[in-house]
Amino acid sequence: MHLEVLSKQEVNKLLDKSLTGLYYSYRKCSLAVLNSGNHVDDAKSLLELYPDFDIRLIQLERGIRLELINAPAEALIEGKMIQGIKELLFAVLRDIIYVSNEITDNPLFDTLSSDGITDAIFHILRNAGIFKPMRPPNIVVCWGGHSIGRQEYDYTKDVGYQIGLRGMDICTGCGPGAMKGPMKGATIGHAKQRLPQGRYIGLSEPGIIAAEPPNPIVNELVIMPDIEKRLESFIRTGHGIIVFPGGVGTLEEILYLLGVLLHPDNANMPFPLIFTGPASAAEYFEKIHEFIGRTLGTEAQAFYQIIVDDPALVAAEMLKGMKRVRKFRKARNDAYYFNWLLKVDHEFQVPFEPNHTNMRGLQIHRDQPAYMLAANLRRAFSGLVAGNVKEEGIRAVEQHGLFEISGEPQLMAEIDALLLSFAEQHRMKLPGTKYNPCYKII
């Protein structure tokens, strides 16, 4: 591991239960890792299942020992911790303390500037050992829902298998569903090709890992500080992206990536992007494709392919895309392991809190560059999902009334129609059985 010893100050930070301490974040992430493979998609429920769980650090002459109290029994076999879980547990320790010491508390990192944020992301990933400089582009990022149905899950495995047969590695959000399936399929593809060093990279962050615990196949885990840095990590380290069926969270990821690619500085940069699913998911992607066309235009639609019910074709097209990426970066002397040339505007790096003030400040109109509209659409969906689905968002709407959004009526109607289609396809967790808008246009 990249962390063998800790200072007394670092240990004190990890055990500090004050507001400025790291204990609660460290405990939550560690419990999520110990719960790997179990089907819990609610962070609050997971923490309530193990109220007496505790983790302590003991310094020894030879390094560090972790003492676990009332940990999930599934993490142990014959009284010994499963090796994969042990490795992920130390990855949590490594990232939590590194981000605190070397990024957050380090005045050399300007995490308010765009370049400073990207530099911080680079250092976190490098410290985690994610970069493999001598390898050609071959990392396929897979996005999609964590609670998809069996048919869609099996399809993600089929695609992963085809990717593995072609020698490509997998990177996902590390959780279950569409994050686990491609990794599981790729393990068989890699085994058939006798590729013993298959990489199954999981990128998470403290706010989501408890709701989406790492699946058992992840062999490289990184805990990023927040969702925006997690998203940028995907597109900086990945060489192509496959999007499987999901919910509104998946749509947010799509809008994030399209917004980045729409920036003028990224013109002509190859970035293979494929939307795919079984035949039953055709309507899902049809609705998203229509929404993108009516809001961001045909330029945004040109960035991706939609391939339905053909795993082999998906993998073959991704492999072609990898060759284009390699040729492009080689011609410009850019690194294969980190996409420095990609322009990620500051608007896509700043965390967005969906409250009434911020929602009122959104500009949902076409009188702005397409990439800025994409950024604001992503923020709008974050807020609308919070208002309809998340506990704190529902409570805010109940207390302060509907979110007020300044937007073109036609664009807002498109948002509303897409959310309604997600609800009809049971891709949104809603209180009750009916989708009711939580906003009004001003």
Whether residue 216 sits in one domain with residue 128: yes
> Which range has the top average pLDDT, 126-130, 355-359, 413-417?
126-130
Distance CA 200, CA 362 (A): 37
Residue 424, pLDDT score: 84
User: What span, in angstroms and rounded, lies between the C-alpha atoms of 127 and 382?
Assistant: 31
Looking at the structure, do residues 54 and 188 belong to the same domain, yes or no?
Answer: no
- Examine the domain organization and report whether 197 and 305 are in the same domain: yes
* Residue that is last in its domain, among 58, 76, 108: 108
**In terms of domains, do 137 and 280 share one?**
yes
Phi, psi of 256 (to 5 degrees): -60, -50
Tally the domains of the chain. Answer: 3
Write the pLDDT tens digit of every residue in 201-239.
999 988 778 777 889 999 999 999 988 999 999 999 999
Is 315 found in the same domain as 166?
Answer: yes
Answer yes or no: do 80 and 197 share one domain.
Answer: no
Q: Has residue 49 got a pLDDT over 90?
A: no
Examine the domain organization and report whether 231 and 155 are in the same domain: yes
pTM of the model: 0.90
208 and 234 in one domain?
A: yes
pLDDT at site 19? 73
Q: Does some domain include residue 140?
A: yes
Please report whether residue 283 resides in a domain: yes
Helix then strand then coil, % of the chain, to nearest 5: 50, 15, 35
Residue after which a domain boundary falls, among 300, 331, 362: 331
| Range of the structural domain that residue 90 is part of | 8-108
The dihedral through the CA atoms of 145, 146, 151, 154 has a sign that is: positive
Q: If you count DSSP H runs as helices and E runs as strands, how many of each does the chain have, helices first?
A: 16, 14
Q: 13 near 97, Cβ under 8 Å?
A: yes
**CATH number where 48 lies:** 3.30.1850.10
**Do 166 and 139 share a domain, yes or no?**
yes
Quick one: 82 and 41 in the same domain? yes
Q: Which of 76, 108, 140 delimits the end of a domain?
A: 108
Rounded Cα–Cα distance for residues 277 and 371 (Å):
26
Tell me: the pLDDT tens digits for 157-191? 999 999 999 999 999 999 889 999 999 999 999 99
Would you say residue 339 lies in a domain? no
User: Based on the domain organization, do 286 and 260 belong to the same domain?
Assistant: yes
Instruction: Give residue 429's pLDDT band: very low, low, confident or very high (50, 70, 90).
Output: low
pLDDT beyond 80 at 16:
yes
- Domain assignment present for residue 74? The answer is yes
Residue 116 lies in a domain: no
Give the mean pLDDT of 99-123.
Answer: 91
Q: Which residue has the tokens 């990426």?
A: 325
pLDDT at 79 over 80: yes
Q: Collapsing DSSP states into helix, strand and coil, what is residue 182?
A: helix
279 and 312 both lie in a single domain:
yes
Q: What is the CATH number of the domain that holds 150?
A: 3.40.50.450
Task: Decide which of 164 and 82 is more confident.
Answer: 164
How is residue 42 written in tokens? 């609610």
Q: Is residue 370 part of a domain?
A: yes
Are 172 and 220 spatial neighbours (Cβ–Cβ below 8 Å)?
Answer: no
- Inside any domain, residue 264: yes
